[in-house]
Amino acid sequence: MRYIIVGGSAAAISAVESIRSLDHESRIDLFSDEETPLFSRVLLPYYVAEELSKPLLNFRTSDFFDEKMVTPHMGVKVTYVNPKDKTIKAADGKEYAFDKLLLATGGKAIVPPIPGIDKEGISTLKTMADAEKILNMKGKRAVVIGAGSIGVEACISLTRRGIKATLLEQLGQVMPTVFDAEAAAIVQQRIEDLGIEVITGEKALKFTGGKHVRSVVTDTRELPCDMVVLSVGVRPASELALQAGLTLGDMKGIRVDDCLMTSAQDIYAAGDVAETYDIARNTYFLNAIWPCAFEQGNIAGLNMAGQKTLYPGSYRRNSIGNFIGIPAISMGVTHSDACAIQSDEDEFREIRVRTKDSYKKLILKNGKIVGAILVGQTQKAGLMSILLRKQVYVADSIPMLMSDRLSFMDLLPILRRNADQFSEPEYKELMDTGL
């Protein structure tokens, strides 16, 4: 058996580990067009804030490839996949044969065609090279365009370095795919409390300056700056899949089956590039977050090494607490209308509780959790996440779920009623002992 993995991040490394848990001998070649191995992208904002040095970004030790008997090809881009001959071509000019191939090519930062975009001092924040570029930018004023999770984190990182930052978002609220308007208002207030100017509902129309950026012009004003971080979204890096004739989904990610195999035999996809079944939305979706990439890499690896393992489906979960000073978590959908409707009988409910310093929202579809937002008090996020993942009926337990004192023990009746869905040893033990 000969394995090739394209990509070197969460999905790729997780796949290496699961392949090696079953196959201790076969050759694994791993290609990444990034030079730096084994760093966690999630930690890049801390690097930009000068709070973590480069070695501390690693999520595996530097002997990982030796230990797992992997031949790494760092800084080498894979340029061509031939699904019929089962070969790939790489930018080193060589051709490599595979029996099983994993495409874990992740996402690419979107660069909008705004006039002046090529000026110096403008960068996305996706790769290690981007982070180094931002770290080396000189100046006192920054504009961050796009108030999604990465934009908010980048903005706060720059502020922590003493740079005066403005966060510009064209939609009407911060973190529009993560929070509803009510939670976003709390989060925005916290961001402003850190000394950041937040402008929503305004679009960047052009960048001014000579060689170097000097300002961002919006519909209504000019924002002087020395640097710009662009954070307007990520798209799946599906070029290789497209070239190889693999089926893409509606969101242009690689469509995979229950075992994470693509439309081509023995070619798998996992992570930000893979469009997988979303439990909360009841449709195929791109959930571009680290835990999903890691789970998918694990399952793809097991299937590649011959152990048939079904992927239960993905759902989004995001947390911004470490950056804004109060815990804020959301999972699944933020509004019921984000769910694909199965039939006219589908029934949706949104339950909200707001106190002075907390906000809680549950979204139910046919009595099952499809989304939750927790701001201020997030201790129960793990329990909500389990109930969402397992898709069990909870409509008769709403007061308990919304209570501040919810504990794992309170879930026993739900667990017992759905014992077939909680067959894992940890749940079984709990139900048997009643503890």
Ligand X SMILES: Cc1cc2nc3c(=O)[nH]c(=O)nc-3n(C[C@H](O)[C@H](O)[C@H](O)COP(=O)(O)OP(=O)(O)OC[C@H]3O[C@@H](n4cnc5c(N)ncnc54)[C@H](O)[C@@H]3O)c2cc1C
At 416, the amino acid letter reads R
Structure tokens at 23: 């196959």
Q: Site for ligand X (CB under 6 A): which residue of 3, 4, 5, 9?
A: 9
The stretch near ligand X (CB under 6 A) out of 244-252, 257-265, 290-298, 328-336 is 290-298
At 349, the amino acid letter reads R
Structure tokens at 172: 């009407």
| Complex with ligand X: residue 8 or 121, whichever CB lies closer | 8
Site string for ligand X, 163-202 (x = CB under 6 A): ----------------------------------------
Q: Site for ligand X (CB under 6 A): which residue of 15, 38, 57, 125?
A: 125
Q: Give the contacts of 309 (CB within 8 A, at least 6 positions apart).
A: 259, 299, 302, 303
| Complex with ligand X: residue 46 or 422, whichever CB lies closer | 46
Q: Site for ligand X (CB under 6 A): which residue of 8, 37, 253, 301?
A: 8
Site string for ligand X, 213-242 (x = CB under 6 A): ------------------------x--x--
| Complex with ligand X: residue 10 or 142, whichever CB lies closer | 10
CB of 29 to ligand X, least distance (A): 11
| Complex with ligand X: residue 49 or 289, whichever CB lies closer | 289
| Complex with ligand X: residue 7 or 116, whichever CB lies closer | 7
Q: Give the contacts of 289 (CB within 8 A, at least 6 positions apart).
A: 316, 317, 318
Count, residues near ligand X per rule CB under 6 A? 33
272 sits near ligand X (criterion: CB under 6 A) = yes
- Cα–Cα separations (whole angstroms), residue 87 to 243, 266, 341, 390, 417: 13, 12, 41, 39, 50
CB of 260 to ligand X, least distance (A): 12
Say how many C-beta atoms besides its own lie within 10 A of residue 412's C-beta: 15
| Complex with ligand X: residue 72 or 116, whichever CB lies closer | 72
Structure tokens at 189: 């207030």
Q: What distance in Å separates the CA atoms of residue 259 and residue 14, rounded to the nearest whole number?
A: 15
Q: Site for ligand X (CB under 6 A): which residue of 3, 4, 5, 10?
A: 10
| Complex with ligand X: residue 106 or 313, whichever CB lies closer | 106
The stretch near ligand X (CB under 6 A) out of 5-13, 255-263, 342-350, 366-374 is 5-13
| Residue 208 · residue 215 · CB < 8 Å | yes
CB of 271 to ligand X, least distance (A): 2
| Complex with ligand X: residue 226 or 272, whichever CB lies closer | 272
| Complex with ligand X: residue 152 or 387, whichever CB lies closer | 152
CB of 424 to ligand X, least distance (A): 23
Q: What distance in Å separates the CA atoms of residue 156 and residue 162, rounded to the nearest whole number?
A: 10
| Complex with ligand X: residue 233 or 312, whichever CB lies closer | 233
Of 390, 391, 408, 392, which is closest to residue 400 (Cα–Cα)? 408
Q: What distance in Å separates the CA atoms of residue 280 and residue 268, rounded to the nearest whole number?
A: 23
On the CB side of 258, how many CA atoms lie within 13 Å of its CA?
4
Cβ burial 23-33 (10 Å sphere, 16+ → b, else e):
beebebbbbbb
Q: Give the contacts of 365 (CB within 8 A, at least 6 positions apart).
A: 282, 336, 339, 346, 347, 348
Site string for ligand X, 366-395 (x = CB under 6 A): ------------------------------
At 167, the amino acid letter reads L
Q: Provide the pairing of β-strand 328-332 with 317-319.
A: antiparallel
Q: Site for ligand X (CB under 6 A): which residue of 78, 216, 232, 329?
A: 78
Q: % helix / strand / coil in the chain, to the nearest 5?
A: 30, 30, 40
6 sits near ligand X (criterion: CB under 6 A) = yes
Show contacts with ligand X in window 19-58 (CB under 6 A). 31-34, 41-42, 44-45
- Cα–Cα separations (whole angstroms), residue 122 to 65, 209, 213: 34, 12, 7
| Complex with ligand X: residue 288 or 305, whichever CB lies closer | 288
Q: Site for ligand X (CB under 6 A): which residue of 256, 260, 264, 293?
A: 293
Say how many C-beta atoms besides its own lie within 10 A of residue 395's C-beta: 14
Q: What distance in Å separates the CA atoms of residue 196 and residue 165, rounded to the nearest whole number?
A: 6
Site string for ligand X, 147-166 (x = CB under 6 A): ---x----------------
126 sits near ligand X (criterion: CB under 6 A) = yes
Which residues of this chain interact with ligand X, rule CB under 6 A? Answer: 6-12, 31-34, 41-42, 44-45, 77-78, 104-107, 125-126, 150, 237, 240, 271-272, 288-291, 293
